[in-house]
């Protein structure tokens, strides 16, 4: 639990690509003097190979090269990586192509012969960018760590309220019901209630009700006497007695068969258990925390869950919001998980690239925090450099989307223009996710595109490109108000 930033190589890395060795030597010298580490390549193909191995912060690339030219290099980089900065270099005569390069996503262009002042200024600017990004990532990681509560990360108002609620309840609560979708952190909350309460030094015992064979429930919970039923060769102490003085966590309580529900209710009400095969009542003092990802109200309505037990458990209900309703926590969860995995895998990862953050921010997260954690674990394993980029995240996300097939339907999917790569399931789902999120954000801003772009962390140009790609920009839809005024300023 240290808040020291991870050791980060503090010099940004520039890859210089030019077929003229004297240019490489000169640029290398200047860049080193400006505080960069330098890699050089004499051709575009070799440059792309290098980029697959090393995470570079900046590419300085010549426009005209014999094998693969600068524009091709930019296109190839942009196809997989939005965060690497690219600067194109060209002679005066090819200035139109330099403009084209900027359209393709180059940050700037330099004309030959080089203006040394401009070159130095540009390098200094980029170096400042890189270190600001690193600082921000370290700060987010520190904040996440500092505001952690019993292993739970959450900076948004929803999670802060939850932490307060746990602090208030933990000293007194006898029974509680934690509800929420899978992966929202129900088990962490149960442990927090135990840990923050007066029984923290006593046992915390978990029984996962979905993993118990139906006929053994009663004996698991309440114990049995030798000979009580076939196979009962020894006396057995049940979970309630084992947890005496401490906490019993009934995970997936919705799976309890009705006869056991009745016995559980009795135990909760009178504080006694009866081992199977015994007439003796034994007193138990146990705090019972139940959790479910089912809709218990519906289970009650449909007769699968006893209403009296439901009301008894539900006296204190702790509902956990799904991750998509508290997206403000995603950057902090991300920062904390990347730190955790960096340490676990012994990698010098400091965080997620800005484009990667946008991918994470707009995903559906049907599997909630668990899914986010799994996606980041895989991406951290894949990431070659100090940043986890959108490339690794998209790969990793498409895998979870594939794992949780069939994917839930996307609203308005019918008017999705067929994406060019719709046959690739992972990519197609990501596109659909992106489209849905953009549409929702536009709705949220009342059709104000500049505001939507800001919320999504995109430049207006990048935002317009996406609108076009998803067919959201030009339709006379309620989402779109004033399409020209924002564009003219982009």
* Closest to 466 in 3D by CA, of 436, 445, 444, 489: 436
Binding range to ligand ATP, per CB under 6 A, among 71-79, 167-175, 181-189, 225-233: 181-189
- Calculate the alpha carbon distances from 138 to 113, 217, 380, 479 in Å: 39, 48, 16, 37
Which of 327, 370 has the CB closer to ligand ATP? Answer: 370
Return the residue of 19, 187, 328, 377 that touches ligand ATP, per CB under 6 A: 187
Contact of residue 12 among Mg ion, ligand ATP, none (CB under 5-8 Å per partner type): none
Contact of residue 141 among Mg ion, ligand ATP, none (CB under 5-8 Å per partner type): none
Token couple for 444: 């949220």
Under 8 Å between Cβ of 92 and 111 = yes
Return the residue of 306, 370, 427, 440 that touches ligand ATP, per CB under 6 A: 370
- Tell me, what DSSP letter sits at residue 152? B
Distance, CA of 486 to CA of 450 (rounded, Å): 6
Which of 71, 188 has the CB closer to ligand ATP? Answer: 188
What character string, x for contact with Mg ion (CB under 5 A) and - otherwise, covers 185-214? --x---------------------------
Under 8 Å between Cβ of 152 and 323 = no
Binding range to ligand ATP, per CB under 6 A, among 70-78, 122-130, 366-374, 464-472: 366-374
Which of 224, 373 has the CB closer to Mg ion? Answer: 373
Distance, CA of 294 to CA of 69 (rounded, Å): 57
Under 8 Å between Cβ of 323 and 329 = yes
Token couple for 166: 């746990």
DSSP letters for 409-466 = PPTTGGGPPPPTTTTSHHHHHHHHHHHHHHHHHHHHTTT-HHHHHHHHT--HHHHHHH
CA angle 84, 134, 431 (to 5 degrees): 45
- In the region spanning residues 143 to 162, those forming contacts with ligand ATP, defined by CB under 6 A, are 152-154
- In the region spanning residues 293 to 322, those forming contacts with ligand ATP, defined by CB under 6 A, are 293
373 binds ligand ATP (CB under 6 A): yes
Q: 186: burial class by Cβ within 10 Å (0-12, 13-18, 19+)?
A: buried
Binding range to Mg ion, per CB under 5 A, among 184-192, 253-261, 295-303, 465-473: 184-192
Which of 109, 365 has the CB closer to ligand ATP? Answer: 365
Maximum C-alpha span of the chain:
98
Contact of residue 370 among Mg ion, ligand ATP, none (CB under 5-8 Å per partner type): ligand ATP
Binding range to ligand ATP, per CB under 6 A, among 72-80, 176-184, 342-350, 467-475: 176-184
Task: Tell the smallest beta-carbon distance from residue 218 to ligand ATP (Å).
Answer: 23
Task: Tell the smallest beta-carbon distance from residue 3 to ligand ATP (Å).
Answer: 17
Task: Tell the smallest beta-carbon distance from residue 118 to Mg ion (Å).
Answer: 58
Task: Tell the smallest beta-carbon distance from residue 208 to ligand ATP (Å).
Answer: 8
Contact of residue 123 among ligand ATP, Mg ion, none (CB under 5-8 Å per partner type): none
- In the region spanning residues 324 to 363, those forming contacts with ligand ATP, defined by CB under 6 A, are 333
188 binds ligand ATP (CB under 6 A): yes
366 binds ligand ATP (CB under 6 A): no
Which of 287, 339 has the CB closer to ligand ATP? Answer: 339
Contact of residue 473 among Mg ion, ligand ATP, none (CB under 5-8 Å per partner type): none
Which of 25, 211 has the CB closer to ligand ATP? Answer: 211
Task: Tell the smallest beta-carbon distance from residue 194 to Mg ion (Å).
Answer: 15
Please count the residues of the chain. 490
Alpha helices in 271-418 (DSSP H): 296-301, 307-313, 330-345, 354-362, 368-382, 390-403
Which of 290, 333 has the CB closer to ligand ATP? Answer: 333
Task: Tell the smallest beta-carbon distance from residue 155 to ligand ATP (Å).
Answer: 10
Number of residues that bind ligand ATP (CB under 6 A): 16
SS3 call for 224: strand
H/E stretch holding 171 reads none
What dihedral angle (degrees, nearest 10) is formed by the CA atoms of 324, 328, 332, 337?
10
Distance, CA of 353 to CA of 13 (rounded, Å): 15
Task: Tell the smallest beta-carbon distance from residue 353 to ligand ATP (Å).
Answer: 22
Which of 153, 290 has the CB closer to ligand ATP? Answer: 153
Dihedral sign, CA of 138, 144, 148, 152? negative
Return the residue of 185, 321, 331, 385 that touches ligand ATP, per CB under 6 A: 185
At what angle are helices 354-362 and 425-444 packed, to 10 degrees? 80
H/E stretch holding 176 reads strand 175-179
* Closest to 28 in 3D by CA, of 19, 16, 13, 18: 16
Which of 182, 281 has the CB closer to ligand ATP? Answer: 182
Under 8 Å between Cβ of 460 and 487 = yes
Other CB atoms closer than 10 Å to residue 118's CB: what's the count?
A: 12
Residue ranges that bind ligand ATP, judged by CB under 6 A: 152-154, 180, 182-188, 293, 333, 369-370, 373
Residues of this chain that interact with Mg ion (CB under 5 A) are 187
């Amino acid at each position: 639990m240290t808040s020291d930033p991870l050791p980060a190589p503090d010099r940004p890395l520039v890859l210089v690509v030019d077929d003229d060795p004297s240019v490489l030597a000169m640029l290398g010298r200047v860049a080193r003097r400006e505080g960069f580490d330098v890699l050089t390549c004499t051709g575009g193909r070799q440059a792309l190979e290098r980029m697959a191995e090393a995470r570079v912060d900046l590419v300085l690339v010549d426009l005209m090269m014999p094998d693969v030219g600068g524009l091709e290099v930019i296109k190839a980089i942009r196809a997989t990586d939005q965060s690497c900065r690219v600067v194109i270099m060209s002679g005066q005569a090819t200035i139109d192509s330099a403009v084209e390069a900027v359209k393709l996503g180059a940050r700037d262009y330099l004309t030959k012969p080089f203006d040394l002042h401009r070159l130095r200024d540009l390098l200094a600017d980029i170096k400042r960018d890189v270190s600001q990004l690193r600082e921000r990532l370290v700060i987010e990681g520190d904040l996440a760590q500092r505001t952690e509560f019993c292993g739970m990360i959450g900076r948004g108002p929803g999670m802060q309220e939850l932490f307060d609620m746990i602090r208030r309840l933990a000293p007194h609560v006898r029974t509680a019901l934690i509800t929420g979708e899978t992966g929202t952190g129900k088990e962490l909350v149960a442990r927090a209630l135990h840990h923050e309460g007066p029984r923290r030094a006593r046992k915390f015992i978990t029984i996962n009700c979905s993993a118990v064979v139906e006929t053994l429930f009663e004996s698991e919970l309440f114990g049995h006497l030798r000979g009580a039923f076939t196979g009962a060769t020894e006396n057995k102490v049940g979970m309630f007695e084992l947890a005496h003085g401490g906490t019993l966590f009934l995970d997936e309580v919705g799976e309890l068969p009705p006869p056991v529900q009745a016995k559980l209710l009795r135990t909760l009400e009178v504080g006694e258990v009866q081992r199977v095969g015994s007439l003796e009542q034994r007193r138990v003092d146990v705090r019972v925390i139940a959790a479910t990802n089912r809709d218990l109200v519906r289970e009650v309505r449909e007769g699968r869950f006893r209403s009296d037990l439901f009301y008894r458990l539900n006296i204190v209900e702790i509902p956990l919001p799904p991750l998509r309703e508290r997206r403000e926590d995603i950057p902090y969860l991300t920062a904390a998980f990347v730190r955790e995995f960096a340490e676990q895998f012994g990698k010098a990862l400091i965080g997620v690239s800005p484009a990667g953050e946008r991918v994470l921010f707009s995903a559906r997260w049907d599997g909630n925090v668990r899914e986010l954690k799994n996606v980041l674990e895989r991406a951290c394993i894949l990431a070659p450099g100090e940043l986890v980029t959108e490339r690794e995240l998209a790969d990793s996300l498409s895998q979870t989307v594939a794992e949780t097939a069939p994917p839930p339907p996307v609203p308005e999917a019918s008017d999705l223009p067929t994406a060019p790569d719709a046959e690739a399931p992972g990519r197609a789902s990501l596109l659909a996710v992106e489209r849905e999120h953009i549409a929702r954000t536009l709705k949220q801003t009342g059709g104000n595109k500049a505001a939507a772009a800001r919320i999504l962390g995109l430049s207006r140009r990048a935002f317009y490109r996406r609108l076009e790609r998803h067919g959201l920009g030009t339709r006379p839809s309620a989402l779109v108000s004033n399409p020209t005024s924002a564009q003219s300023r982009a």
